[in-house]
């Protein structure tokens, strides 16, 4: 490990991501494609290295990002497969998306005209194709997407009638697929498939790529596979929620977070620790300072609550987590010394701190935590069990 990464680094195990992807593949029907959701920089793991390991896998259709910029970053890195931008994309990005095979999610009437205009301009320069788009349908999020009603059907008919556009896909997103009770999700799935049947009848053909399954649906709702599934959180080995069954798919967390002790001191009973003195020692205490804080994405709400692993043992957090440092109790870990490794997320011997546990301890959400591990934290990638570039 490079000394530059001693303060803190996230280790990303690309083998775990491949393992999760293969298990996703094994859990869906033959012929169903996978889109790797690598928005928010691959849920904090790094979108480009993750896309790179999937470029040659034929059951991976492509990638989904949240924004056009995230898609451009992948193209800048030489990533070639199709990319779908899941959120609304503003018109400034359409020309580049068209040139680079990046599909927008389409649901606003003005998007049709704006997109067609870009295609016509590009055609004037010799381009002969159409712009592939995916229609977003709202079946219960009330977020983006046309509703599965007459207006929605009319909108899609209009999109399909445009010579400049190719309605390659249509998708929806479930609000409640991660619950133990799937009544709502199944009802929404039926509403979506009924709508797809209607569109097929009215337009005389099926839209080629119909998709609705996120991670929770991949695990719990096999009927929602359709033509393609969108795998997000499970790709990284994390669980969509506590209610999703754990026995249907095997996952391996890909990310662990490491640091090193930078200072150790013994303090007497009655010594306050960190801002506000919210913790006061009740005995002679050996304190270790860890050079990581909430500006790295380590939650401040772990103050006086969380713990880290040192020599395979738990060391609890004393006082408030600061912006760039926090303190832990190592009184019971006498072998600990300055420079020793600290595991903030991951396994150390028999002990493990999962992202889900960290979510519980900090009263936050595993999706949120992993996205919060920010740029100040270098990522070190492992492939075939070895560090790689």
Instruction: Using CB under 6 A, list all residues that contact ligand PLP.
Output: 37, 39, 86, 173, 214-216, 230-233, 240
Closest to ligand PLP by CB, 215 or 362: 215
Closest to ligand PLP by CB, 264 or 371: 371
What's the Cα-to-Cα distance from 290 to each of 257, 293, 347, 352, rounded to whole Å? 12, 8, 18, 18
Distance (Å, rounded) from C-alpha 180 to C-alpha 164? Answer: 43
Q: Specify the DSSP class assigned to residue 375.
A: T
Closest to ligand PLP by CB, 139 or 215: 215
CB of 367 to ligand PLP, least distance (A): 7
Q: Exactly one of 9, 18, 33, 39 is catalytic; name it.
A: 39
Q: Specify the DSSP class assigned to residue 207.
A: -
CB of 35 to ligand PLP, least distance (A): 8
Distance (Å, rounded) from C-alpha 22 to C-alpha 292? Answer: 34
DSSP-assigned beta bridge partners for residue 218:
none
Q: Is the distance from CB of 218 to CB of 234 less than 8 angstroms?
A: yes
Catalytic residue list contains 275: yes
CB of 173 to ligand PLP, least distance (A): 4
Contacts of 336 (CB under 8 A, 6+ apart): 261, 264, 286, 288, 310, 311, 315, 330
Dihedral sign for Cα 114, 116, 119, 120, please: negative
What values do phi and psi take at 317, rounded to 5? -75, 130
CB of 141 to ligand PLP, least distance (A): 9
Closest to ligand PLP by CB, 236 or 279: 236
Closest to ligand PLP by CB, 84 or 321: 84
Which stretch of DSSP H or E encloses residue 383? strand 379-383
CB of 324 to ligand PLP, least distance (A): 30
Could you give the residue ranges of the DSSP H alpha helices within 77-179? 94-99, 109-124, 150-161
Catalytic residue list contains 265: no
- Which residues are part of the catalytic machinery? 39, 275
């Amino acid at each position: 490990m490079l000394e530059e990464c001693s303060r803190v680094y996230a280790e990303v195990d690309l083998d775990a991501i491949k393992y999760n992807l293969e298990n996703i593949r094994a859990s869906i029907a033959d012929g169903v494609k996978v889109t790797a959701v690598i928005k928010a920089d691959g849920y904090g793991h790094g979108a480009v290295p993750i896309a790179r390991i999937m470029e040659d896998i034929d059951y991976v259709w492509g990638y989904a990002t949240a924004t056009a910029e995230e898609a451009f970053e992948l193209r800048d890195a030489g990533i070639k497969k199709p990319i779908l931008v899941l959120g609304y994309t503003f018109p400034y990005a359409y020309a580049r998306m068209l040139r680079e095979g990046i599909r927008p999610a389409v649901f606003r009437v003005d998007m049709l005209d704006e997109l067609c205009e870009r295609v016509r301009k590009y055609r004037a320069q010799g381009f002969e194709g159409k712009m592939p788009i995916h229609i977003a349908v709202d079946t219960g999020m009330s977020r983006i997407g046309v509703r599965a009603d007459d207006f929605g059907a009319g909108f899609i008919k209009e999109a399909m009638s445009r010579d400049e556009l190719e309605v390659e896909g249509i998708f929806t997103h479930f609000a409640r697929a991660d619950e133990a009770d799937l009544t709502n999700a199944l009802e929404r799935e039926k509403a979506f498939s009924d709508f797809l049947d209607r569109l097929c009848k009215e337009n005389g053909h099926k839209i080629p790529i119909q998709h609705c399954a996120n991670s929770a649906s991949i695990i719990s709702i096999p009927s929602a596979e359709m033509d393609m599934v969108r795998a997000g959180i499970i790709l990284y080995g994390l669980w969509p929620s506590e209610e999703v069954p754990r026995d249907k798919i095997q996952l391996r967390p890909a990310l662990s977070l490491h640091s090193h002790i930078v200072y150790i001191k013994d303090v007497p009973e009655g010594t306050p620790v960190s801002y506000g003195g919210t913790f006061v020692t009740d005995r002679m205490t050996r304190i270790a300072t860890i050079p990581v804080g909430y500006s790295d994405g380590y939650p401040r709400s772990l103050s006086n609550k969380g713990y880290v692993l040192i020599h395979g043992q738990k060391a609890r957090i004393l006082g408030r987590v600061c912006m760039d440092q926090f303190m832990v109790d190592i009184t019971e870990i006498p072998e600990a010394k300055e420079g020793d490794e600290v595991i903030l997320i991951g396994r150390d011997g028999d002990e493990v701190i999962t992202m889900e546990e960290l979510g519980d301890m900090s009263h936050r959400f595993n999706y949120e935590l992993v996205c919060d591990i920010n740029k100040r934290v270098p990522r070190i990638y492992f492939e075939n069990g070895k560090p790689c570039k």
